[in-house]
A and B are shown apart, each in its own frame.
Chain A
Amino acid sequence: MERTMKINHLPAYTYGWLHLNNADLTVKDAPVPADLKVEVPVHVVANESARIAVPTGAGDALTDYLKDVPVLSYDVLAGSIPAKPLRIRTDYAKDAQAGNVISLHLNAGTSLVAVMDLTSEATGFAALQTLFELEEDSHLTLVQILRPGEQFTLVNDIGGRVKDRADVHIIHVMLGGKEVYQGCRVNLEGRHSDLKTDIGYRLQGESKLDMNYYAYHTGKKTSCEIQADGVLADHAKKVFRGTIDFINGCAGSVGDEREDVLLLSDDVVNQTIPLILCAEEDVEGNHGATIGRLDEDALFYAESRGMDEASVIEMMASARIDAVIKKIPDETTRTLLLPKEDDHD
């Protein structure tokens, strides 16, 4: 039965007329788990375990929607560092109504690179929720490539908990889709725990991307760095919510948030709301945003070297996304996404 839920809530609401406080997501039926192709590296064990109880970026409504979906859990064995990534990929079927929940647990001192590549046929709906818990001194790199079809709606949601001296690096590459909803909340609970995100998106046509990144600092001397770089063309619409929340007691914490958006059409809609919520004196929080057209000096310089304007714009737009892709610590994935050298001929 079709229903509409509110997801991607801003942690502190603002003027209603901006329509930024949350997003409406309409689902038709109960979710059916999609067939995921998983490559499990040595030292990682797939098991059945309960859902990690941690809030997510999309919020409780999505969690409730996925509550009956079986959880696929992966545990990194204590004292081990898998040599290869945990790879999860799926190509959602036409008219899918899919839902999956993945749980990652890193024992103390372990490390894991998890790469998820989500593609789809033209139409359908899918929701993927990734939950993680990082024990002391563990390190997770979570790479998610979202490449849904042009009439496909995709919800990619993350919720995680990070303990003492553990860190998570999230890399998101988002390309296309009719509607993509990205939720991400990380609770930095442990002393010296750390979150880093590198987000790259390129939207064109009628694509719509709605993001909600939330760093929740409770541990002392925690840090987060949220970096988003994107390109909007044609009639694309993007909402970026980014929140650094310093809870009383997280003394010595720092947070930094940057967004850089290149607008290539007068028909795009770019909405950005970067929040710093602060109930602790001994912290440093910064955010900055640069939104607009291509720098005229850069354009002039490239044109003076013989490039036409369209080629310059394409080069600059690709460079933003490529810079994020190059941060992926997995050559297979980088090779998949980066243009071949021959492509430049």
Chain B
Amino acid sequence: MATEDKTYVEDIDRSLYDFRFENKDAYKVDEGLTPEIVKTISDEKKDPAWMREFRLHSLDIYNQTQMPDWGPSIEGLNMNNIVTYVRPNTKMHADWEEVPEEIKDTFEKLGIPQAERESLAGVGAQFDSELVYHNVKEEVAAQGIIYTDLESALHGPYADMIHDHFMKLVPPTDHKFAALHGAVWSGGSFVYVPPGVSVEIPLQSYFRLNAPGAGQFEHTLIIVDEGAYLHFIEGCSAPKYNVANLHAGCVELFVGKNATLRYSTIENWSKNMYNLNTKRARVEEGGKVEWVSGSFGSHVSYLYPMSVLAGKGSRSEFTSVTFAGKGQNLDTGCKVVHNAPQTSSVVNTRSISKSGGISTFRSSVVVTKNAPESKSAVSCQSLMLDTISRSDTIPAMDIRTSKADIGHEARIGRISDDAIFYLMSRGIAEDDARAMIVSGFADNVGKELPLEYAIEMNNLIRLEMKGAIG
């Protein structure tokens, strides 16, 4: 038996996601980022005056803010080459039959309408910069749940609510790409769950970026009121091009007193994507936010969902898996700020690197003086599948009260030879044994997802691990 041979791991077969069509009728702004372009987008969106001003102010902040001096290189991203707004030649519909054939076909291939029929309470589908489909089941709407596109909400009865919450958790001053988002955001969803209402089945928004050299800047704003429950699922993908694409979305979650919000993401952008996304939740007394995240795509990712535990006894859970393959530098993790008594956080992550991929787990846990009797437990594990890849762990803790219990553990290593040997002694081929171990390694996320999404994630892992003994 050639025990020293290494498993050859093929690059992922992305044919499932790597299809496209030339959308000749789409309207685009010019490449680059200027006040004129921002004004054009604002005109296109029919922004209220405050939003137009907000965009231009954000552009000023963007121009004054430095690039981060940490994290993966984003030198390959040239904003002068990015088209910040691409409008498909269609309006938003509430019936798939009214969506243009090619766009509908795109989402059919991604399984969105089928998922809506079988397991979702509502769906929003964004194509490039605009939503092309948005619908919520009647029985869900009857509970008083609002699930709509953000632009409609800006002009409707919830306009004040949007004004009071939009980019309040993630201000444009937060970092350079938050400022960029504030200037050119387009699309995304608004969800409001009234007090005491429990949404039994999930809502989902799916973001598809079709245009080469374009950016997608959707904004998701969710307010879960006192005692309510919601599971929101976010999916994203794009075909691969030879030019850089950019995703700088923003997610703001407001979790009310004793409310719970689960936010699940399966991110599968193409490997020419710079994914510079910002997600943040504020959790009030007794509330809970649960982040479930699978990161498989993108060329470069900066992704650190943040939980601000603002109310007494509020909680956060962060569960993730990151799989970095050839040509990928995925810098992922989370941030937690404990700023109220008796708050608690649990972080449980897995990172996998192969074929020269780089995965970095980066986190921060901050416990302020306002958070006595708080607890935090962080566990991150990394798996290296070959000698040409890289895996880094960069967790930070900043503790400013004595009455806290903070635990942290991390482990990095390779697949145990003993485990492989054991499985092979039971008649399992070596590459199958490795795939089985990796799937088990990522099971922390799989078991938290609805069945259909857990299957999709396991398919992605299986595709990544497909290989032969070399």
By a CB distance below 8 angstroms, the chain B residues around A272 are 396-397, 399, 408
By a CB distance below 8 angstroms, the chain A residues around B369 are 266-267
CA–CA, A265 and B382, complex, Å: 35
Contact between chains at A265 and B394 (CB < 8 Å): no
Contact between chains at B364 and A281 (CB < 8 Å): no
Contact between chains at A284 and B70 (CB < 8 Å): no
1/0 contact string of A41-56 vs chain B (CB within 8 Å): 0000000000000000
Closest to B69 in A: A13
Given A286-B410, A291-B406, are A270 and B398 also a contact pair (CB < 8 Å)? Answer: yes
Contact between chains at B396 and A278 (CB < 8 Å): no
Shortest Cβ distance from B325 into chain A, in angstroms? 15
Q: Is A282 an interface residue (CB 8 A)?
A: yes
By a CB distance below 8 angstroms, the chain B residues around A20 are 396
By a CB distance below 8 angstroms, the chain A residues around B403 are 266, 292-293
By a CB distance below 8 angstroms, the chain B residues around A264 are 402
Contact between chains at B387 and A278 (CB < 8 Å): no
Q: Is B390 an interface residue (CB 8 A)?
A: yes
By a CB distance below 8 angstroms, the chain A residues around B413 are 283-285
CA–CA, A272 and B409, complex, Å: 12
Q: Size class of B's contact patch? A: 35 or more
Q: Is B401 an interface residue (CB 8 A)?
A: yes
1/0 contact string of B340-370 vs chain A (CB within 8 Å): 0000000000000000000000101000010
Q: Contact check: which of A269, A271, A276, A288 meets B396 at CB < 8 Å? A: A271
Shortest Cβ distance from B307 into chain A, in angstroms? 15
By a CB distance below 8 angstroms, the chain B residues around A282 are 387, 414
Q: Is B44 an interface residue (CB 8 A)?
A: no
A14-B70, A263-B402 known; 12 new pairs, CB 8 Å cut-off, are: A13-B70, A14-B396, A21-B70, A263-B399, A285-B411, A289-B407, A291-B397, A291-B399, A291-B404, A291-B406, A291-B408, A293-B403
Contact between chains at B70 and A278 (CB < 8 Å): no
Contact between chains at A281 and B387 (CB < 8 Å): yes
By a CB distance below 8 angstroms, the chain A residues around B32 are none
Contact between chains at A278 and B384 (CB < 8 Å): yes
Q: Is A134 an interface residue (CB 8 A)?
A: no
1/0 contact string of B364-396 vs chain A (CB within 8 Å): 100001001000000000101111011111111
Q: Is B405 an interface residue (CB 8 A)?
A: yes
CA–CA, A269 and B412, complex, Å: 28
Contact between chains at A283 and B387 (CB < 8 Å): no
By a CB distance below 8 angstroms, the chain B residues around A251 are 387
Given A15-B364, A288-B410, are A270 and B399 also a contact pair (CB < 8 Å)? Answer: yes
Shortest Cβ distance from A136 into chain B, in angstroms? 26
Q: Is B117 an interface residue (CB 8 A)?
A: no
CA–CA, A12 and B392, complex, Å: 9
Contact between chains at A280 and B399 (CB < 8 Å): no
CA–CA, A268 and B400, complex, Å: 6
Contact between chains at B393 and A271 (CB < 8 Å): no
CA–CA, A13 and B71, complex, Å: 7
Question: Which residues in window 1-24 of A have CB below 8 A to B?
Answer: 12-16, 18, 20-21
**Which of A248, A283, A284, A288 has its CB near the most chain B CB atoms (within 10 A)?**
A288
- 21 chain-A/chain-B pairs, Cβ below 8 angstroms: A12-B70, A12-B394, A14-B362, A14-B396, A16-B70, A261-B399, A263-B401, A263-B402, A268-B400, A269-B398, A270-B399, A273-B395, A274-B395, A275-B394, A277-B393, A279-B390, A283-B412, A285-B410, A286-B411, A293-B402, A293-B404
Contact between chains at B406 and A278 (CB < 8 Å): no
Q: Is B144 an interface residue (CB 8 A)?
A: no
Contact between chains at A280 and B384 (CB < 8 Å): yes
By a CB distance below 8 angstroms, the chain A residues around B364 are 14-15, 18
By a CB distance below 8 angstroms, the chain A residues around B390 are 278-279
CA–CA, A289 and B410, complex, Å: 9
